[in-house]
Structure formats: structure tokens, C-alpha cells
Amino acid sequence: MSEGEWNLADFEIGKRIGEGKFGKVYLAREKQSGYVVALKVIFKAKLDKYRYHAQIRREIEIQRRLNHPNVLRLFAWFHDEERVFLVLEYAARGELYELLNSLSHFSEKRAATYIASLARTLAYCHEKHVIHRDIKPENLLLDIEGRLKLADFGWAVQSNAKRHTMCGTMDYLAPEMLEKRAHDHAVDNWTLGILCYEFLYGAPPFEAADENDTKRRIVQVDLKFPSTHCVSVEAKDLIRKLLVKDSSKRLSIQEILKHPWILRNADPSGSCSE
């Protein structure tokens, strides 16, 4: 599947399953094969308004080349006068964000399983010099078997060199981004620490009512573990070793996967049946 081979007439369009800044996502079926996909519809007028054309091209270019069980597949793309269409893998269980909201926080087994899956995914992406730069629960989806799928490569970049663009979502930004210093793949490792904390405590660690307070807490690595949740010493150790201001001293992906908390709790299958 590639650009130019498809058009909207090839698909039966079903219900809307998502909505974003630039358009909507629909459940769809490819008529010839009967294959069910998610069809992301992006309005060109919105791309014009936010000057996002280069970014959407980069997102397509990066995501179509990635082939990993925990990366949401981009099968194809096409466009008409008003819209760009991305033909994506359908993740039947939806956003991890919704699950976290409904449960308020995850068990250590579930949290470790997701962190291990994400670490393996990032090992693959970083090997290909792809930095995601916007990992958060809204960009993590679950397939029918409960396996994690990393989605939305809108802020991703493929580069060997250090980058300087500040991008992503405030609660998940690494200190080097906020201080406008050069950054590399270690910003994704920082986000794993943020997510690990959020999975276990139900909220990101540096969340504050005021955005400037959030920035200050991130830059100072003002990390506190509330006594309201019973979280193991090993889990806290992993979080502390990821949320390190000096990016060169954060745990590597390989070290995350060998950490005692991951080895003790993560389900090797990557799916959570709890």
C-alpha cells in the first residue's frame, strides 16, 4: 500500500472513534479484502492554518517505515482536494488514557508490562534514529489482546544529530527541552519515568495547577512519592533512575529491561489479562 493506489471509494466508513486538532478518525473496512482499519481524516485547511504540512509529511515518512509489533502500523495514505487520509492499524481497545482514567492507577504488574513493551519499542525506534518526543497515555493504544501500540508520530524526528525544537506535552517534557538545550533520544527515556509514575500513582509527577509551576518542578526534578499509594521500593528506584536531569545519566533502554522491578513484574507476552 502506498500513496496514489487508494481513494475513499475503496472503503466503507463506519463510526467515528477519535478526534484531534486536525481532523477525525473513523472505523473503516477496505471493501475488497474486508480488512478493518482506522481511517484518519486530516483537513488541509487545518494544516494550512497551523502550518503543519511539513510535519504531516515527516509523520507519514517516519511511521510508514516502522514495522514493530508495538508500533501502530501506517498501511497507506492518499489525499483529495480538501483532505489527507491515513490508513492505520485499528487498535480495538482504544487509548490507554481511557483505561488509566477508569482504573485511576495500574497494578505494578500491568504498569511494568506496559513500560517493558514501551522500552522494547523505543529500542527499535532509537536503533532507527527515530525519537518520538510525545509519548503520553493519549498516544498509546491497546489492540484486541491488550498489547500496547505506540501511535501519533506528529512530533517524531529521524536524526543522528541533537535537536533543539521544543515540542510535546508539558507534563511529559524533559528538562533539557524546557531549558532549550539540545536533546536526543534520552527525552523518550525521561518520558518512560514520567509514565511509570503516572501508571502507579494516577497522575504525572510534576503536575501543578499553574504551567509555570509544572516547568519549575520539572527543571528542579522536584520528585515526591505520595504515601497514599502503596508502591514498591523497586518501582520507585526505576522512576528515580529515569527522572535524572543529566540526560547522559538516565537509565538506558537495555538497563530498564534488566531492572529488577521489570524482571519481577512484566508479562513477557506484553498483554495484560488482569
pLDDT (tens digit, 9 = 90+) per residue, 223-252? 999 988 899 999 999 999 999 999 999 999
Residue type, 24: K
- Write down the pTM of the prediction: 0.92
- State the DSSP string of 3-56: TTS--GGGEEEEEEEEE-SSEEEEEEEETTT--EEEEEEEEHHHHHHTT-HHHH
Tell me the pLDDT of the chain averaged across its residues: 91
Helices (H) and strands (E) counted in the chain, each on its own, are: 10, 10
Tell which of 88, 118, 140 closes a domain: 88
The residues that are catalytic are 134
144, 209: one domain: yes
Look at residue 155 in the predicted model and tell me its pLDDT: 83
- Give the structural domain span for 242: 94-265
Same domain, 115 and 240: yes
Residue 130 sits in a domain whose CATH number is 1.10.510.10
The pLDDT of residue 2: 43
Q: Are residues 82 and 103 in the same domain?
A: no
User: Does residue 60 contact residue 77 with C-beta atoms inside 8 Å?
Assistant: yes
In the chain, the number of structural domains is 2
The rounded percent of the chain whose pLDDT value lies above 90 is 76
pLDDT tens column, 166-179? 455 889 999 998 99
CATH number at residue 42: 3.30.200.20
Q: Is the pLDDT of residue 165 over 90?
A: no
Looking at 73, 88, 103, the residue that finishes a domain is: 88
